[in-house]
Structure 1
Amino acid sequence: MNNYKALKNLENKVVLITGASSGLGEQIAYQVAKRGAIVIVTARNLDKLKMVAKSCTEFHGKKAYAIRMDMSNPDDIENAVETIKQCIGKIDVLINNAGFGLMQNAIDFDMQQAEAMFRVNVLGMMYLTQYVALQMAEEHCGVIINIASMAGKIATPKSAIYSATKAAVIGYSNALRLELKKLGISVIVVNSGPIRTNFFNTADQTGNYLEKVKKIVLNPELVAEKIVKTIGSNKRELILPGFFKVADIGYALFPKLGDFLTENVFNKK
């Protein structure tokens, strides 16, 4: 049952985006707004969200909503979903973008920080997805896009905790896709390399990582455009940039070589 294909046209469809106060989430909001969607942006910084929502409205004249939501707080998530249901209506597309990382060796990692990362990157995403998927199931139509990372497929030194969270997102998404398919709901997982966003203001304490990998750093606007184009399609996974598809297959077939290259050639942290 491919009811989600009807969402290829986003005109007047309700799209909820987490982590949308800046970076990739902000750019996704603009892309869906240009296509006539009713945009709901969420994050913790309400002032920035209001600016994003205002810009979304200017793109297509449709009402856009800014709702503060802390992805580490299950009660906050539930309250936000209930507010959306009562004041806006059903959610047609959910894009789970919120998340953070920190480049640090696992044995030196502050485990309270690790727990916080799992609460936002994994558990918060699961809470929100469950609430929204239950609503989508009533309509037998919906699209859920989970922003994971190539770090969840090919881990590098100083990314153990972050990679673990993104591997969890990938595993969850792959099983969820099979469970929700019969309910007319599509689940797409996005695995990208580094994107030029404020993510690295927190993740990279040296401030040099993006410069070291500048040849492969992705433009958030272009990534957002590619993500939005997957809505209503049969795509199960989006890998960016494209050559990482080869790296993914190669790592699975030749893991020892993959470990060597990851540790000695591709590690720029």
Structure 2
Amino acid sequence: MKKVILITGASSGMGKETARKLIQEGHTVYTAARRVEQMQELKTLGGHPIQMDVTNEADIQRVVDTIIQQEGKIDVLWNNAGYGLYGSVEDIPLEQARRQFEVNVFGLASMTQKVVPYMRKAQSGTIINTSSMGGKIYTPMGAWYHASKHAIEGFSDCLRLELAPFNINVVVLEPGIILTEFGDEVLKSLGQFSSAGAYADLTRRLVASTKKTYERGSGSKAAVIANTVLKIVTAKKAKTRYRVGRWAKPLVWLRTYFGDRAFDKLIMSQVQA
């Protein structure tokens, strides 16, 4: 059955690639992002791009109202918008940390609040929240990013219990290393906040490690996420979590079963001089 799907953060990377696939599968796909000019290809394919800032309540309400007016329903909400803020806890200004949560957590929550009433009335729907393997593990200099993704994990688990009586599924997507603009965002924030001072050496090593990972293509293509989201959208009963992409399953497994100290050594071995 073809569905009405809303995707946030669809101007690039996982969101854009998945939107393309879902449109090709015949679904009605609305894509929301600040950079609407980067979604014109999706419009050509038959999608419906809308400009939206996920931190702007009025923008979110306008997008939801538009879809309901045109389609009468929203079957699937994929809360995908987000970015990675990297730098030491000591160096990153709290206003930047707050913005990380405004985008990654509160934007997701606001989107959810505005869509749920329509799903609840229909007694049907699926909400997909993009967490990360970073919602289960941790890396140096990523405290605020990881904190936001850990928050999404807990938020989604509680939401799943609340919405189950209304036949609304809540699914957590936990990507591993995916070859998108994420690496560029990490490098940009590291250069901005911690390239000098007490954490300069660790920052230098982390920059080198990040560049090596993305320049060598040591990750999965966004197509693995597109295929997974399609599976979730079409499943009769989707799983509560989907952990996909390079390193997602093994790193979370190591974190879970080997404990903190062993995982600390493993992670730091990847950023040695």
| Match 1:33 to one of 2, 20, 23 | 23
Which residue identity is paired with 2:212?
E
1:222 aligned to 2:205? Answer: no
1:165 aligned to 2:166? Answer: no
Cα distance, 1:216 vs structure 2: 4.1
Contact 2:179–2:217 (8 Å) recurs in 1: no
Cα distance, 1:91 vs structure 2: 0.5
Residues 173-203 of structure 1 deviation map (CA, whole Å, 9 limit, x = unaligned)? 1111111112111111111122111222222
**Number of positions where the alignment pairs a residue of Structure 1 with one of Structure 2:** 251
Q: Report what 2:196 is aligned to.
A: none
Task: Write the distance in 2 (CA, Å) between the matches of 1:266 and 1:98.
Answer: 28
Residues 213-267 of structure 1 deviation map (CA, whole Å, 9 limit, x = unaligned)? 64641101222112221223331111123763343233233222122222x2245
Cα distance, 1:171 vs structure 2: 0.8
Residues 19-56 of structure 1 deviation map (CA, whole Å, 9 limit, x = unaligned)? 1111110011012112210010100112222332223x
Q: Report what 2:266 is aligned to.
A: 261
Contact 1:20–1:98 (8 Å) recurs in 2: yes
- Taking a change above 3 Å as real, the CA distance of residues 79 and 215 of structure 1, as seen in their structure-2 partners, is closer
- Taking a change above 3 Å as real, the CA distance of residues 212 and 66 of structure 1, as seen in their structure-2 partners, is closer
1:54 aligned to 2:41? Answer: no
Q: Report what 1:100 is aligned to.
A: 83
Task: Write the distance in 1 (CA, Å) between the matches of 2:177 and 2:94.
Answer: 24
Q: Report what 2:212 is aligned to.
A: 211
Task: Write the distance in 1 (CA, Å) between the matches of 2:144 and 2:87.
Answer: 9
TM-score calculated relative to the size of structure 2: 0.85
Cα distance, 1:147 vs structure 2: 0.8
Moved more, 140-149 or 222-231: 222-231
| Match 2:59 to one of 67, 73, 76 | 76
Task: Write the distance in 1 (CA, Å) between the matches of 2:114 and 2:131.
Answer: 20
TM-score calculated relative to the size of structure 1: 0.86
Unaligned runs of 5+ in 1: 1-8, 58-63
Task: Write the distance in 2 (CA, Å) between the matches of 1:239 and 1:226.
Answer: 9
Task: Write the distance in 1 (CA, Å) between the matches of 2:185 and 2:264.
Answer: 26
Cα distance, 1:110 vs structure 2: 2.3
Cα distance, 1:127 vs structure 2: 0.5
Unaligned runs of 5+ in 2: 192-206
SS at match of 1:235: coil
Q: Report what 1:199 is aligned to.
A: 182
Task: Write the distance in 1 (CA, Å) between the matches of 2:83 and 2:98.
Answer: 12
Q: Report what 1:111 is aligned to.
A: 94
SS at match of 2:107: helix
| Match 2:72 to one of 89, 94, 100 | 89
SS at match of 1:218: coil
SS at match of 1:175: helix
